[in-house]
Amino acid sequence: MNQVNAGEQGHNHSLCGKAAQSMADSGQLETAAERVVRLCGSEGGALTGWMCDEARRRHQEPQEMAKQVGVTCGYISQLRQGIRRPEDISHDFAVGCARYLGVPAIVVKLVSGSIRISDFAFPCESEEQLIDRAIRVMQDDPQMRASLPGEMVRLPLEVKKVLVAMYAQTSAQDVFGLHELPETVRWLQRAAVLHVENELEAMAGHRDSSGWGESHQ
214, burial (CB in 10 Å: exposed 0-12, middle 13-18, buried 19+)? exposed
Report field, pTM of the whole predicted structure over 0.85: no
pLDDT at 109 over 80: yes
Specify the pLDDT at position 205: 63
pLDDT at 68 over 80: yes
d(CA 185, CA 7): 48
Closest by CA to 145, choosing from 153, 154, 156, 137, is 137
Dihedrals φ, ψ of 147, to 5°?
Answer: -95, 0
Specify the pLDDT at position 97: 95
Specify the pLDDT at position 131: 82
From its phi and psi, is residue 85 left (phi > 0), alpha (psi between -120 and 50) or beta?
A: beta
Closest by CA to 162, choosing from 105, 112, 103, 127, is 112
Predicted confidence band at 6 (pLDDT cuts at 50, 70, 90)?
A: very low
Q: ∠ CA(177), CA(54), CA(15), 5° rounding? A: 115
Mean pLDDT score of the chain: 74
pLDDT at 64 over 90: yes
Q: In this structure, how many other beta carbons lie within 10 angstroms of the beta carbon of residue 77? A: 25
d(CA 60, CA 113): 26
Q: How far apart are the first and last CA of the chain?
A: 63
